[in-house]
Structure 1
Amino acid sequence: MNLIKVDKIVVKTTQWLGILGLAAVLVWGIIYFLKVQHYEQTNDAQIDAYLSPINAKVGGYIQKIYFRDNQRVSKGDTLVVIEADEFSLKQEAAAAELMSAKAKIAILMANEETQQKNIEVIKAGRMGSQAKLEQQQQEYNRYQKLLENESTTQQKFEQVSTVLKISQAAFAEVQAALIAAESKLNDLKAQRLAIDAEIKTKQALLARQELDVRYTVITAPFAGQLGKKVIQNGQLVQPGQTLGFLTNESEEKWVVANFKETQIGNFKVGQKAEIEVDAFPDEKFFGRIESLAPTTGSRYSLLPPDNATGNFVKVIQRIPIRIQLTDKGQKLSKLSAGMNANVSIIK
């Protein structure tokens, strides 16, 4: 009898467990059906954030590295120092060339001042020569009238005419000397413009060398967290080479969800979204649709599919959807770029 009772109890227990299991399946099915009616879901989603590369602006050997793997840094913190000896020598050479060009301008200014004084002297001599010429011209005119009236001799008139020609030649010589002096002054001024341009060129070269010296010290452009260190002390780096990556903590994070093309028919900007991150299964995050990609994800691949090649198999494509996280503060700080997520868009 006891065995029969035990068997009955086992059967009833099994029946009740089966009923409870079936009820649980039914409840789950109903909940899932209701959820499907109100949400479009995908597990093809990831957390994303701005990841900025830290690049070398000048080439050289690394003198010292001031960060470790996954270290948090503040804006302006020194990350890497490149040996600056070569750049310092170039800076000193550029400074010396600039000093030489400035010395030339000083000498040229002195020459201009001297030439200006020479012109003033020539102008003063021209005034005297002109006065003497005018006097000789008057003397010539007077003797010419006397000769016409036969009040003087031909010889005396010829003497006065010769003196006039000498005065005219002397005045022409002074005038030519003045023109030559002014032309030389103009040449000096033109040389000054050329030297001024040379000075600006040297100043630009010096500024460039000073920049190169400053570029040997690489600092964090903003506050954030560095990734893996891939460089070593003494390593030769080239201009533009990536030395590491830095996440920007001042910028917001977002979610990129790749929905099937059959799911996005009713999507629009501003729709609310619920996000579940695999790393934090017991916590929900919220957001809204910020934008929909203009093309499918396959179009961004290196070799986009070409359906006109002959063999065609229809494959449902996915559209990247950018979702802005509306949660703020400490809740988002624990999310890292690349984390997998499940996204539900409320219809």
Structure 2
Amino acid sequence: MSNTNTKTKTNKTDRIISRVTTVVASIVVICLAIWGVKTLLHQWKFEETNDAQIDEYINPVVAKVTGYVKEIRYEENQEVKKGDTLVLIDNSEYAAQQQEADAALVNAEAQVSVIQSNVNTAGEMAKVYQSQIAAAKAKLRNQEQEYDRYKKLYDVESATKQQLDKVEAALEVARSDYNTSVGAYNAALAKINDARVQQSALQAEIKRRAAVVEKNNLTVSYTVITAPYNGKMGRRTIQPGQLLQAGQTLAYIVDWEAGKWVVANFKETQIRHMSIGETADIVVDAYPGRTFTGKIESLSGATGSRFSLLPPDNATGNFVKIAQRIPVRIRLNGTPQELRALSAGMSVNVSVSKVRR
């Protein structure tokens, strides 16, 4: 009787375990079927890849002049705004050159005033000589008439040779005075022309020195290095007192104003359904519960391997066909504040519909 009861209980337990196992297996099969159907439907509707990363412009901050670092006003990974001062370079030498250029420009401008004064003086002297010419000309005309009268008198023997010689000498003096006045007037005009030529040359020199002043002002301004746009600084590699060379990279800054995009490397068999302007769904590994959107901006003109340092050459004895990947650039939608959490280099999954939306 005891054995019969034990067998009955065992059979009941087996039946319960069998039923539970059947139910669990059915649930698992149903879940797998649902998952498989959803996966197949998704793959039928979308082309997707996980070979994708977020990218954005990361530009170097470069020194334009040589000098010692005077002060550093940023820290690593610090957020900065356009115009914020990042680095100060000692500008003592450049400031002295700037003062020298300013003084040279002031001196050249003062010389213009001197030359202008010389032009005015020469002009007044020319007026004086011009009035003297008129007086000398009148005197010469009078002496010529006097000589003609005495010449006629001498011809009729009404005047002596001595009187004629005296009048002739006075005529020569008057003619000489006239020529002297004309020569002085012409010399005054020549001085005016010379002064004006010097003035033109000096004006050109002033422009050159003004350009030197502007260049020195720019050089001094280059000793203050500012943020070119809103962004975030990278790793700091310089120290106060360090000698910088012109063209040396001081730091890197992430440009937040230029936007962000995704470079997705799709297989060459996937891009036939893609076109510029098409919408893409993007899931960032760092934020799996959030989906971003973007638009295809461009498709690469060649496979990624063609842009590598050593492009593959298949003209060899051994060849294995491998599906190549085409870089697709996708511009992320959203404001800079909405995309602030995304950083360059983050891995993402990208899905693009096979049917144009």
Q: What is the alpha-carbon distance in structure 1 between the residues aligned to residue 296 and residue 172 of structure 2?
A: 101
Work out whether 1:73 is the aligned partner of 2:80: yes
Alignment-mate amino acid for residue 253 of structure 2:
L
Equivalent residues in 2 for 1:318-337, closer than 5 Å: 318-328=325-335, 330-337=337-344
Distance 2:301 2:153 in 1: 108
- Aligned equivalents of 1:8 and 1:85: distance in 2? 95
* 1:46-61 alignment, distance < 5 Å: 46-61=53-68
State the secondary structure of the residue aligned to 2:272. coil
Does the alignment pair 1:257 with 2:264?
yes
Report the residue type matching 1:239 in the other structure: A
Q: Tell me: CA distance 1:203–1:149, structure 2 relative to 1, closer, same or farther (3 Å).
A: same
Out of 338, 343, 347, the position equivalent to 2:350 is 343
Q: For 1:188-207, what aligned pairs fall within 5 Å after superposition?
A: 188-207=195-214
The alpha-carbon deviation at position 274 of structure 1 amounts to 0.6
Aligned residue among 86, 98, 110 for 2:93? 86
Q: How far did 1:173 drift?
A: 2.3
- Which residue does 1:240 correspond to in 2? 247
CA shift at 1:8, angstroms?
5.3
Instruction: Look up the match of 1:284.
Output: 291
SS of residue matched to 1:265: helix
The aligned counterpart of 1:24 is 31
Verify: 1:221 aligned to 2:241, yes or no: no
**Offset at residue 72 of structure 1 (A):** 1.1
Query: Which range is displaced more, 246-255 or 189-198?
Result: 246-255
- Offset at 1:339? 0.9
Corresponding position of 1:138: 145
**Matched letter for residue 187 of structure 2:** A
Identity %, equivalent residues: 45
Name the residue aligned to 1:100: 107
2:194 aligns with 187
Per-residue Cα deviation, 1:154-208 (whole angstroms, up to 9, x for no partner): 6654544443333223322221222122112211111122222222222222222
Q: What is the Cα deviation at residue 150 of structure 1? A: 6.1
TM-score for both structures, normalised by structure 1: 0.89
Distance across 2 between alignment mates of 1:346 and 1:335: 23
Structure 1 residue 316 corresponds to structure 2 residue 323: yes
Structure 1: tracts of 5 or more residues without a match: none
- The total of aligned residue pairs comes to 347
Amino acid at match of 1:246: I
- In 2, the alpha carbon distance for the partners of 1:45 and 1:126 equals 95
Q: Which amino acid aligns with 1:168?
A: R
Identify which range, 177-186 or 143-152, moves more after superposition: 143-152
Counterpart-to-counterpart distance in 1, 2:179 and 2:315: 92
Distance 2:94 2:212 in 1: 12
Classify 1:181/1:263 alpha carbon distance in 2 versus 1 (closer, same or farther; 3 Å). same
What is the letter of the counterpart of residue 40 of structure 1?
Answer: E
Partner of 2:307: 300
Cα distance in 1, alignment partners of residues 88 and 75 from structure 2 = 14
Query: Which amino acid in the other structure matches residue 31 of structure 1?
Result: K
Q: Could you list the per-position Cα deviations for residues 65-85 of structure 1 after superposition, in whole angstroms to 9, with x for gaps in the alignment?
A: 111111112222221111121
Q: Give distance in 1, aligned partners of 2:169 and 2:344.
A: 104
Paired residue type of 1:262: T
SS of structure 2 residue aligned to 1:269: coil
CA distance in 1, matches of 2:18, 2:57: 61
Q: Judging changes above 3 Å, is the alpha-carbon distance between structure 1 residues 104 and 313 closer, same or farther for their aligned structure 2 residues?
A: farther
Moved more, 148-157 or 94-103: 148-157
- Cα distance change on mapping 1:309 and 1:84 into 2, 3 Å: farther
Q: Secondary structure at the match of 1:136?
A: helix
Pick which of 52-61 and 299-308 moved more.
299-308
2:169 and 2:122 map into 1 onto residues whose CA distance is 34
Match of 1:211 in 2: 218
CA distance in 2, matches of 1:40, 1:209: 58
The Cα shift of 1:232 comes to: 1.3
Counterpart residue number, 1:119: 126
Matching residue's letter, 2:297: E
